[in-house]
């Protein structure tokens, strides 16, 4: 295919690959065994979005369940609730970026599965340079993955998909699915990750699931986990109990009665960061298969644990509800404070770097109080 002059050569390659994929898929139509597999390619060509990688079954866009819209209260709900209700049955999405088989070939002790929004490039870079470095810690292997979806606007999707492709090539740590990366789709992201892990990294002893704006003291985490058996139940984080759905529409956490009529959530751990064992990952996977998706990801995992008869637990070193320095006088930037913790929420990218650097200083002396910044 000749490249028109107004297009950059790499864009031309995209178009060429897209056209090739389209032709390939038109000729090799998969048998429609599941509802998401299309009989026909979509009428609107996918030329504007990143092409589906070849050799994977082609998944048509999952259709909205329009029967939910017939409920008299449906139109009164905010857009994201309506979207959630219309699409919550959709669970199969093409993987746009995958990692190499090498990732989990050698036994992985701690797999970092970090939820990131497509455009959070700086956050991912800083995690890579600091606590998320793939390395040996206390003699065991640590591996890193970023879990991402895609942007909802086609123009933005084209850009972020290209960015993530570049990151995947350079760092080999991107798992990207073709769904809109929104707050109410975080549960979908979680479930897709657990499914991926079942076949691709099931032998990881432990998993840290967290956000890209946390500071995780991965050395401490490994020490803590080395005292646990991956074959036993473990699910620890910032424990939240005795709460229920927020019914005020202005709240980010608003959950409509059309989503659940329950007024209580089972105990769960805040989604900023929590640790789980191989045993518990398998249990969550089982439960997630039978439960309806619930739009708040951390609550959904609480529901899964509940179904499996398991309980989440609290770890005092995981602080996802803001920084709670032990005293007013102790600066929240005192590295000696973080030295004892496993994970703290809400770090800016540059703060991650400063803290990581301070913790790595060989002469960090915590016998006297110290303010670095």
Ligand X SMILES: *[C@@H]1O[C@H](CO)[C@@H](O)[C@H](O)[C@H]1NC(C)=O
By beta-carbon proximity to ligand X, the closer residue of 149 and 302 is 149
Q: Which structure tokens are listed for 132?
A: 């998320």
User: Taking CB under 6 A as the criterion, which residues in 172-191 touch ligand X?
Assistant: 179-180, 182, 184-185
Size, binding site for ligand X by CB under 6 A: 17
Q: Given the rule CB under 6 A, which of 22-30, 207-215, 352-360, 365-373 is the region that contacts ligand X?
A: 365-373
Q: Is 58 in contact with 41 (CB distance < 8 Å)?
A: yes
Q: Closest approach of Cβ 280 to ligand X, in Å?
A: 16
Q: Is 146 in contact with 175 (CB distance < 8 Å)?
A: yes
By beta-carbon proximity to ligand X, the closer residue of 63 and 169 is 63
By beta-carbon proximity to ligand X, the closer residue of 200 and 346 is 200
Q: What CA–CA distances, in Å, run from 121 to 65, 95, 138, 213, 228? A: 34, 19, 29, 12, 34
Q: Closest approach of Cβ 350 to ligand X, in Å?
A: 28
Query: Binding to ligand X by residue 89, rule CB under 6 A?
Result: yes
What distance in Å separates the CA atoms of residue 291 and residue 299, rounded to the nearest whole number? 12
Q: Closest approach of Cβ 43 to ligand X, in Å?
A: 17
By beta-carbon proximity to ligand X, the closer residue of 130 and 197 is 197
3, 15, 68, 158: residue in contact with ligand X (rule CB under 6 A): 68
What distance in Å separates the CA atoms of residue 233 and residue 183, rounded to the nearest whole number? 28
Q: Which of 193, 190, 203, 182 is closest to 98 using CA atoms?
A: 193
Query: Binding to ligand X by residue 87, rule CB under 6 A?
Result: yes
Q: Closest approach of Cβ 258 to ligand X, in Å?
A: 9
By beta-carbon proximity to ligand X, the closer residue of 87 and 338 is 87
Q: Vertex 353, ends 347 and 356: CA angle to 5°?
A: 95
195, 203, 226, 331: residue in contact with ligand X (rule CB under 6 A): 203
By beta-carbon proximity to ligand X, the closer residue of 311 and 371 is 371
Considering only the C-alpha atoms of the chain, give the largest distance between any 2 of them, rounded to a whole number of Å: 72
Q: Vertex 284, ends 82 and 60: CA angle to 5°?
A: 45
46, 56, 80, 339: residue in contact with ligand X (rule CB under 6 A): 80
- Sign for the CA dihedral angle at 349, 353, 354, 359 comes to positive
By beta-carbon proximity to ligand X, the closer residue of 92 and 346 is 92
By beta-carbon proximity to ligand X, the closer residue of 9 and 362 is 362
27, 67, 242, 327: residue in contact with ligand X (rule CB under 6 A): 67
Q: Vertex 214, ends 209 and 216: CA angle to 5°?
A: 75
Q: Which structure tokens are listed for 281?
A: 């990952």
Q: What CA–CA distances, in Å, run from 56 to 22, 24, 59, 94? A: 12, 11, 9, 8
Q: Closest approach of Cβ 179 to ligand X, in Å?
A: 4
Q: Closest approach of Cβ 223 to ligand X, in Å?
A: 20
- Classify strands 235-237 and 313-314 as parallel, antiparallel or unpaired: parallel
Q: Is 14 in contact with 49 (CB distance < 8 Å)?
A: no
- In this structure, the chain runs to a length of 373
Binding site for ligand X (CB under 6 A): 65, 67-68, 80, 83-84, 87, 89, 179-180, 182, 184-185, 203, 365, 367-368
């Amino acid at each position: 295919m000749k490249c028109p002059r107004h297009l950059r050569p790499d864009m031309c390659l995209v178009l060429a690959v897209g056209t090739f994929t389209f032709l390939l898929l038109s000729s090799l139509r998969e048998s429609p065994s599941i509802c998401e597999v299309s009989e026909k390619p979509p009428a609107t060509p996918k030329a504007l979005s990143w092409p589906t990688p070849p050799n994977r079954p082609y998944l048509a866009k999952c259709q909205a369940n329009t029967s939910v819209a017939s409920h008299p209260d449906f139109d009164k709900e905010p857009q994201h609730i309506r979207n959630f209700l219309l699409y919550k049955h959709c669970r199969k999405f093409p993987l746009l970026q995958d990692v190499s088989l090498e990732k989990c070939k050698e036994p992985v002790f701690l797999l970092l599965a970090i939820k990131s929004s497509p455009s959070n490039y700086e956050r991912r870079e800083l995690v890579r340079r600091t606590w998320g470095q793939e390395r040996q810690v206390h003699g065991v292997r640590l591996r890193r993955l970023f879990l991402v979806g895609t942007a909802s606007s086609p123009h933005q999707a084209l850009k972020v998909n290209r960015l993530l492709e570049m990151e995947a090539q350079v760092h080999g740590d991107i798992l990207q699915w073709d769904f809109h990366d929104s707050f109410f789709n975080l549960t979908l992201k979680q479930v897709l990750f657990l499914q991926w892990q079942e076949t691709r990294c099931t032998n990881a002893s432990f998993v840290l699931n967290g956000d890209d704006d946390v500071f995780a003291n991965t050395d401490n985490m490994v020490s803590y986990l080395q005292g646990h058996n991956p074959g036993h139940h473990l699910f620890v984080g910032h424990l939240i109990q005795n709460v229920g759905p927020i019914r005020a529409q202005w709240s980010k956490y608003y959950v409509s009665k059309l989503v659940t009529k329950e007024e209580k959530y089972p105990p769960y751990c805040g989604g900023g960061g929590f640790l789980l064992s191989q045993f518990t990952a398998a249990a969550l996977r089982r439960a997630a298969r039978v439960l309806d998706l619930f739009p708040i990801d951390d609550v959904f995992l609480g529901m899964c644990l509940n179904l499996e008869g398991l309980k989440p637990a609290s770890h005092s070193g995981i602080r996802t509800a803001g920084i709670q320095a032990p005293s007013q006088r102790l600066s929240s930037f005192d590295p000696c404070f973080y030295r004892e913790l496993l994970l703290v929420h809400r770090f800016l990218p540059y703060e991650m770097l400063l803290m990581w650097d301070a913790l790595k200083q060989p002469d960090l002396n915590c016998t006297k109080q110290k303010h670095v910044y």
